[in-house]
Structure 1
């Protein structure tokens, strides 16, 4: 498999974690978002959406990180990232979607570029936008978490795979995190695992 990735892409970060957790052999193919390589003809032939990540498999190309994660779960029998119980599975998805669907889209690179290029906001205003939407989401996520080692129990799941990249970005934008002790405890615990640390942006071949 080949994972088309950018080292700071939150969505690609999720897939890197999952591939590592499941011990799946794969190659990383860097695509530079800052140079808009995802909009180049060569990449668009592989992923018509022009987004990252994309996973190239023997069956073809698959985009959208959540779809990739679900496919990996359904086609592999190593290290499950979703519980077998339907209710517990729904709880994991509930947390994962709260992050990947409700928080992340408001802060991805396309939105930040639009704020700067089209609306001419200042760097200070852009940072405030980023931080406000992170905190709005984390206020709710913090209350959804229990006192377990990971988001939903004692093993990493899809929820943790979504949480860690979002916290990484929150810290990168200097978002105040004092009000989120459970989130930070889970983030720090996840980062004691090699599958998470090896997927971190600074460990990628295209890290700058």
Structure 2
């Protein structure tokens, strides 16, 4: 039987933050871009990885995205700026779970692949004070699912990997966490909360 988790590491995008596709689709329609082209371009590994690993800034990353769009430079920059203006929304049920974990005396760390824009986003979303520690790949200079990310994240939250529960919506991140010795659980919605509370040995 595994050791009981004493701390929680939780992902941001797809867990604590959710995205309404409508504002992003509206930008693509306005500029005559193919559906999902902005997201797909931004996730191109050769520019996404250095942005998450702290090698380039968020602004530099977005400039590279704009440079790959089939628009003239001014239109491309405007499209990216409009696309980036929407910063998502907090999932209230995921936030309630985090608050419950902290109220029970367990530490909570935000463990995310992010850029130097993350702190501003967290402030705008009202999430900065909702966790005990922010573990951002841009600051750590390594990103999920690398073992070094999880090693540093556990150090940041002050627990051994075997005492940390990691929650993410990405299978690769979950596999990376488990390989690093953490308990990993894939989030697909708040229906998981009762199980996760048991994994943290919290009362019903």
Same fold (TM over 0.5): no
The TM-score, its normalising length taken from structure 2, stands at 0.35
Highest relative contact order (Cα 8 Å, sep 6+), 1 or 2? 2
**Larger Cα Rg: Structure 1 or Structure 2?**
2
The TM-score, its normalising length taken from structure 1, stands at 0.35
